[in-house]
Amino acid sequence: MFYIDDFNRRTGATKRIEITPHNVKTLCLVCNCQFGVDLTDVFADQCHNDLMTTRVLCMDCAKNALMQLGADIPAELLDGVIVKTKAVGREGCFV
């Protein structure tokens, strides 16, 4: 089990919050909208990702990025796509 500690400064209490596929959120690198991510999907490939430099695009920005790159992917296959970038070196990693 992985978890984070949430420290309440007012009460001094610490609450343990388990990290699950349903409670992890991120901000889109392009449009800055907040959306949920499953860390299993984000780190499933061989791109040597880490929590500090991996950035994920929201579905709309991912579709736009793939279309701008000239990707010839049917629209129905784009529904589950995740586009990740590395903040350092701006290397792209597409799933």
Cβ contact 22:36 at 8 Å: yes
Confidence class for position 6, pLDDT limits 50, 70, 90: very high
Higher-confidence position of 72 and 10: 10
State the Cα–Cα distance between residues 90 and 80, nearest whole angstrom: 23
Which of 40, 52, 57 lies closest to 93 in space, CA to CA?
Answer: 57
Q: Specify the pLDDT at position 89.
A: 35
Three-state DSSP class for residue 91: coil
pLDDT at 94 over 50: no
Chain mean pLDDT for the chain: 76
Residues 29-70 pLDDT 10s: 889 999 888 888 888 776 677 788 888 888 888 888 877 877
